[in-house]
Structure 1
Amino acid sequence: MSLTTLCLPPSSSLPPIRTLLVAPTAVITSALHNLQTLYCPLRLPTTFAKARVAELAQVDSGYASRDEDEDAVDAEDALVTLRADEFERAYAVRWLTSLIGRAEELELEDEDDRERIVGDAAFILSSFSDSTAEDADESLTRDFSFPTPKNGTIDIQLNDAPLSGTDHTDVGLQSWGASIIFSELMCKEPARFGLNAFPEDATIIELGAGTGLVSLTLGKLLPTLADSKVEILATDYHPTVLENLQTNIATNFPRFAEPPVKTSMLDWSLPPPALESSAHMLFAADVVYAPEHAVWLRDCAAHLLLLNGIFWLIVTVRKVGKFEGIPDTAEAAFLVEEQLPQKDGKKLKIVEKMELEKKRGIGRGDEYGYMLFKIMWV
């Protein structure tokens, strides 16, 4: 790759986000290669980058003219300057985030290409050692329309904010495949999930709500099923995620003085005493990203769930990448009898398990399917 190519700014060399879905594989691959060459060496000593640039500038004979030396220095300076440009870094982060978020919609014939593109994009995104304030400036608005049994639709509009690329806890800034699949299924078969038989003034709590798609869907779906008033509490731990969630609630319930969905910060490892045994139903979609998460989630659910309540947990099956196998810990957390939470002589257990297929155009490239668990006190 030439030094000229190395110094192309992302804002002028990357294919526009709006054209990504139809961009040829070669174009996307080339763009990723440029970004990898430009930014991944940031974690190495600067002397390494300088030595590499000088090496590339040498001619085959081993000698370089004065002009060539000056060209090498100019190229080196341009490269260092470009790497330090916060606008270009933020642009690259937004572009990579959008590419990963829309990977399943790319018009690619080879699924191996899709998997490789997602892996390369995630690798480059993780190479950024810090984020800039501009990273949050641009977001992606997504519209969902889920059909209901009465020939209606539940329409949701979400703001998907870019990921920082450095903090795994901010994954809730985006709507992941599991929440989309589950929201669609709830609207299609509400009775299957007991959504048409809530007692008066029931409480629903979503754990790790993220953008709030599940809670927002429930907020619009439940009034079409029954007259009972249900309080929906969408919870998350990450402050930035909660801010985005509140924006999404305001967007979807613009004329409500008191929207049916409220938000609250909730740490699974320290659930608040005020919410003990308060939830008639719990929901959590694709929330396990570290081995300890599953145990925290189980014990938090035990604290919140009423004796006759139901906990619906959907986890994403991933077979590649850094989250490979981690979702399996969700089921493993309920396998050892001696470790299960107890309440009034009952234990919190998985009573039903269902496999859900991945749908084309939904979810990320590393998602292979979903597992839905029904969890109750038995």
Structure 2
Amino acid sequence: MTSKMSHTQPPSLFLPSLRNLAAISPSDVSRGITYLRSLYTPRIRGSKILGRITPDGSTISWPSSSPEDLDALVGDEFERGYSIRWLTYLAHNATQIQASAEEIAVIIDSAAAVLANCGGPASAGVLIRTIVFPASGIEVTLQDIPLDNGMASVGAQTWGGAFVLAEMIATHPEEFQLHKKSQSTLRVLELGSGTGLVGITVAKIANHLDLPTRVVCTDAYPPALHNLATNISANFDNISGTLSVESLALDWSIMANKPLTALFPPPLDIAFDIILGADIIYEAEHALWIRKVLTRFLRRNGLFHLLVPLRPTHAAESGTIEMVFIADGQGPEILSKETILCAPEKPSEEEIVYAYYRIGWQ
């Protein structure tokens, strides 16, 4: 997975000169801002896949989507400084551009946002990410909003696990039932959607393949749900008649305590073919709640695709997955497990490891 950027020229060569702003078109200015956003939007830790280790122990390599020269360019202090000066001048002098007041306001806001990105994650407020999956050509635009001191805002950030699962889906859609036309609509539920990257990716691929699909992205926290709805709207201004994408509040703890005979309004009135979850188990109770949710909402021939980071700090919580999803005849169970290896932020650090489970009924 890569940020969208079709150029690897350094900013000092790519960006238009601002000496005569009145002679520069708004589109050229916007192109420069987009270019810098793709360079300097903070990277997501643990999102660069190196390979997959299958259940039989064999390793499948993964094509690199982040050229080394691009990484070097991002780390070039001269180019970063040049970009900061370019954006600063633009933000202060944009009124000289021959454009409408609305266009100028957008340019100023965009330049200010990218300027914050240039200072790194600690400086950035709202982030706009444009992500392209090279294998499929699918493009997703996401908004991340700043974290506050509570758990409610965690879902408004894009985490590495969501990047990894989304790239797996985009690279091998056939492994996620996104390859054959059916008379019935494919029903997809995402748990703990956060910014919606995984669900939006599925919907974009289904739309590209002209597969009748309904995608329901869910979260429990209001800040995340509001941001999720914003991201869905940003990516689907023109949806085909065979595709439906929506956001919905879903609290696993409440759902787990309802009787199996309880009825729910659409879109939860019918079971789902595919359920997805990335980086959603970080409390001891989560696996228990999620299994009860699956027992209610996963079709008998459906699959739950779960990706979790193997963090030393949450070893006990992630360990509950294999304790809960067992072959006891009481609900869905683990059908297979793979290990996903991702590159660390620094060469001196250890690889980041995820466990990928396929869970279903036997």
Whole-angstrom distance in 2 between the partners of 1:302 and 1:223: 28
Indicate the residue corresponding to 1:160 in structure 2: 144
Indicate the residue corresponding to 1:265 in structure 2: 249
Matched position secondary structure for 1:273: coil
Is residue 318–residue 366 contact of structure 1 (8 Å, CA) maintained in 2? no
Whole-angstrom distance in 2 between the partners of 1:330 and 1:19: 33
Amino acid at match of 1:283: L
Is residue 354–residue 372 contact of structure 1 (8 Å, CA) maintained in 2? yes
Indicate the residue corresponding to 1:299 in structure 2: 292
Is residue 204–residue 281 contact of structure 1 (8 Å, CA) maintained in 2? yes
Whole-angstrom distance in 1 between the partners of 2:273 and 2:319: 26
Q: Residue 257 and residue 243 in structure 1: after superposition, are their counterparts in 2 closer, same or farther (change >3 A)? A: farther
Structure with larger Rg: 1
CA shift for structure 1 position 98: 6.0
Q: Residue 23 and residue 216 in structure 1: after superposition, are their counterparts in 2 closer, same or farther (change >3 A)? A: same
Indicate the residue corresponding to 1:141 in structure 2: 128
Whole-angstrom distance in 1 between the partners of 2:290 and 2:245: 21
* 1:62-107 deviations in Å (ceiling 9; x for gaps): xxxxxxxxxxxxxxxxxxxxxxxxxxxxxxxx99x963799xxxxx
Amino acid at match of 2:222: P
Deviates more, 1:168-177 or 1:194-203: 194-203
Indicate the residue corresponding to 1:13 in structure 2: none
Whole-angstrom distance in 2 between the partners of 1:101 and 1:155: 26
Matched position secondary structure for 1:375: strand
Indicate the residue corresponding to 2:275 in structure 1: 282
Indicate the residue corresponding to 2:83 in structure 1: none
* 1:133-158 deviations in Å (ceiling 9; x for gaps): xxxxx31111211123xxx4111111
Whole-angstrom distance in 1 between the partners of 2:205 and 2:198: 10
Is residue 147–residue 154 contact of structure 2 (8 Å, CA) maintained in 1? yes
Q: How does 1:78-89 map to 2 (within 5 A)?
A: none
Q: Residue 19 and residue 176 in structure 1: after superposition, are their counterparts in 2 closer, same or farther (change >3 A)? A: closer
Q: Residue 248 and residue 19 in structure 1: after superposition, are their counterparts in 2 closer, same or farther (change >3 A)? A: closer
> Structure 2: any 5+ residue segments left out of the alignment?
1-39, 43-73, 78-115, 256-261
Q: TM-score under structure 1 normalisation? A: 0.57
Whole-angstrom distance in 1 between the partners of 2:181 and 2:310: 31
Q: Residue 351 and residue 265 in structure 1: after superposition, are their counterparts in 2 closer, same or farther (change >3 A)? A: same
Whole-angstrom distance in 2 between the partners of 1:188 and 1:229: 20
Amino acid at match of 1:308: N
Is residue 208–residue 235 contact of structure 1 (8 Å, CA) maintained in 2? yes
Question: Which one has a larger percent helix, Structure 1 or Structure 2?
Answer: 1
1:252 paired with 2:239, answer no
CA shift for structure 1 position 316: 1.0
Whole-angstrom distance in 2 between the partners of 1:297 and 1:173: 20
Among candidates 333, 338, 356, match of residue 349 of structure 1: 333
Q: How does 1:1-40 map to 2 (within 5 A)?
A: 22=75
Among candidates 196, 201, 206, match of residue 217 of structure 1: 201
Is residue 253–residue 289 contact of structure 2 (8 Å, CA) maintained in 1? yes
Whole-angstrom distance in 1 between the partners of 2:359 and 2:215: 19
Matched position secondary structure for 1:270: helix
Q: How does 1:310-325 map to 2 (within 5 A)?
A: 310-320=303-313, 323-325=314-316
Matched position secondary structure for 1:99: coil
Matched position secondary structure for 1:287: coil
Is residue 155–residue 194 contact of structure 2 (8 Å, CA) maintained in 1? yes
> Structure 1: any 5+ residue segments left out of the alignment?
1-17, 25-93, 103-137, 342-346
Indicate the residue corresponding to 1:99 in structure 2: 121
Among candidates 155, 161, 174, match of residue 172 of structure 1: 155
Q: Residue 142 and residue 316 in structure 1: after superposition, are their counterparts in 2 closer, same or farther (change >3 A)? A: same
Whole-angstrom distance in 2 between the partners of 1:301 and 1:170: 25
Q: Residue 19 and residue 269 in structure 1: after superposition, are their counterparts in 2 closer, same or farther (change >3 A)? A: closer
Matched position secondary structure for 1:351: strand
Whole-angstrom distance in 1 between the partners of 2:353 and 2:123: 16
Identity over the aligned pairs, expressed in percent?
Answer: 30
